[in-house]
Structure 1
Amino acid sequence: MKDKANDRTDEYGGSLENRCRFTVEIVEAVANEIGAERVGIKLSPFSTFGECGDSNPLELGLYMVNAVNKYGILYCQMVEPRMETECSHSLMPMRKAFNGTFMVTGGYGRQDGINAIAENRADLIAYGRYFISNPDLPKRFALNAPLNKYYRETFYSHDPVLGYTDYPFLE
């Protein structure tokens, strides 16, 4: 979907609508097959991971939430632009535009998540890294207990010795 990665010249490249066409077609097909109430999408318009940036990520994000609104899908999960250094963008325009449950992710801690919900910046907060090192994260958050540190080098390892296997669960 991003113009710095999509160099196609057919109906799936060029304009914003064309670059988003494939994703929108998938959302439509899946919603028609299993029901929109079972469909969600995760978008990261501000991310430049893998050199896949966009010249106008705000426009891309708004286009996509408006496009998927037509299908009445359950949720849209968006990655915070704060993952990028010195980014002044906000997800609020997408939050306001999306008709379903709006979930955000990207570097949230306990209090950040509480604040985002209280300030109506999101309906739900997704926690990735902290769940990997704290599978009892909801309980830790409820108790305001300390969190285990996470180590990126062990994420998603096929080797159980390197991965998180010995969790210090709270009693």
Structure 2
Amino acid sequence: MTNALFTAVNLGQHTLNNRIVMPPMTRSRASQPGNEANELMAEYYAQRASAGLIVAEGTQISAMGQGYAWTPGIYTQQQIDGWKLTTDAVHAKGGVIFAQLWHVGRVTHPDNIGGQQPISSSAIKAENVKVFIDNGTDEPGFVDVVEPRAMTKADIDMVIEQYRQAALNAVEAGFDGIELHAANGYLINQFIDSEANDRTDEYGGSVENRLRFLSEVVAAMVDAIGAERVGVRLAPFTSLNGTVDANPEETYTAAAAMLNQHSIVYLHIAEVDWDDAPDTPASFKQAVRQAYDGVLIYAGKYDAEKAAQTIEAGLADMIGFGRPFVANPDLPNRIKQGYPLASHDPATLFGGAAKGLTDYCEYTQ
């Protein structure tokens, strides 16, 4: 039933031996101070190198781009060197790994960004959103986000340059490519979704204007490292971190068509995955498939059977399995062999050390 997951697929210059993606998942284990990737993280990703593609956890492109305590960056030489530990370890096991480049925009607190006011498309506070800060213990302290300031044109130009440099840094760190995080209510999503963007300049109002920042960031990264090494993640129907679009099918079909013009190597769509969440409309998946010619990845609420069916139906080329990869480092083999899946410990997802990160075992009969 799952054979479709174990056929080869081309991703840019790589031939992947299965269609199972480990999607980006924040684990907040970066070394302090400096938010540097480390040996523990390298071990974690290497354990999961049998995925067709690994997308590493969200990695901030600047100090202002950080939303949560203890997440890794990729804007200092020490951070680049830290990530080399991971890419070397994954490549030694034959894996392919992309970096997810991240700027959270308004989804942060001054305590995480050196006391500054966050930036966003607009001076609109995300309601009922909390982030965690380092309160001096191993347990994160959760605080409300604050009102951001609207980005000026100079701010926009600066952040586009930070994304371009981060893409170059990722290649220097040994990543096979990058995924632009344009989903889940973070900065680029704050431009895309109508209810988070009240701008009256060329970056607000119409769908074309709200997609402009995304397009300019992608263009800068494609110019820097090549379209075959650039993927983008979108979340059309989620309301995570307070971003909502009035007409997501129209907006995100247009986004897919625009990204197709940039010839990016993949488009990664995060579906809503909370309990009782509605399914993504089939009409939308068909529209995206028609609008975008590259590798199409979906993630959210998939089991092996549903994943295989989606690929067989031609609606996706690869499927991401998030939480199952936490407790099942050998997830592709477990799926292939029909072995049972282990469950993760939610208390160890964010922060801490090896417990709940690298101490999950491969399946033995």
Of residues 89, 109, 114, the one that matches 2:303 is: 109
Matches within 5 A, 1:63-74: 63-74=254-265
Matches within 5 A, 1:43-58: 43-58=234-249
Any unmatched runs of 5+ in structure 2? 1-191
Matched residue, 2:331? 137
Of residues 163, 166, 170, the one that matches 2:359 is: 166
CA distance in 2, matches of 1:64, 1:154: 36
Aligned residues: percent identity? 36
The answer as to whether partners of 2:236 and 2:271 remain within 8 angstroms in 1 is no
| Higher RCO, Cα 8 Å, sep 6+ | 2
The answer as to whether partners of 1:110 and 1:141 remain within 8 angstroms in 2 is yes
1:93 Cα deviation from its structure 2 partner: 1.2
CA distance in 1, matches of 2:310, 2:324: 17
Change in 2 beyond 3 A, CA 1:153/1:54: farther
Q: Deviations over 1:112-168 (max 9, x none)?
A: 11111111110000111111111110111111111111344432x220265333212
Any unmatched runs of 5+ in structure 1? none
Which has the larger Rg?
Answer: 2
What TM-score comes out, normalization by structure 1 length?
Answer: 0.90
Query: SS of the counterpart of 1:120?
Result: coil
1:10 Cα deviation from its structure 2 partner: 2.1
Of residues 143, 147, 154, the one that matches 2:348 is: 154
Q: Deviations over 1:70-109 (max 9, x none)?
A: 1111000112256573356232211221110111111111
CA distance in 1, matches of 2:280, 2:262: 30
Query: SS of the counterpart of 2:289?
Result: helix
Q: Deviations over 1:18-39 (max 9, x none)?
A: 1111011011111111111111
Count of matched residue positions in the alignment of Structure 1 and Structure 2: 170
CA distance in 1, matches of 2:304, 2:263: 30
Q: Given residue 89 of structure 1, which amino acid in structure 2 is its aligned partner? A: P
CA distance in 2, matches of 1:104, 1:18: 26
Change in 2 beyond 3 A, CA 1:119/1:12: same
**Which is worse superposed, 67-76 or 87-96?**
87-96
Change in 2 beyond 3 A, CA 1:55/1:152: farther
Structure with greater helix percent? 1
The answer as to whether partners of 2:344 and 2:356 remain within 8 angstroms in 1 is no
CA distance in 2, matches of 1:147, 1:87: 23
CA distance in 1, matches of 2:316, 2:242: 27
Query: SS of the counterpart of 1:45?
Result: coil
Q: Given residue 11 of structure 1, which amino acid in structure 2 is its aligned partner? A: E
What TM-score comes out, normalization by structure 2 length?
Answer: 0.44
CA distance in 1, matches of 2:273, 2:286: 13
Structure with greater strand percent? 2
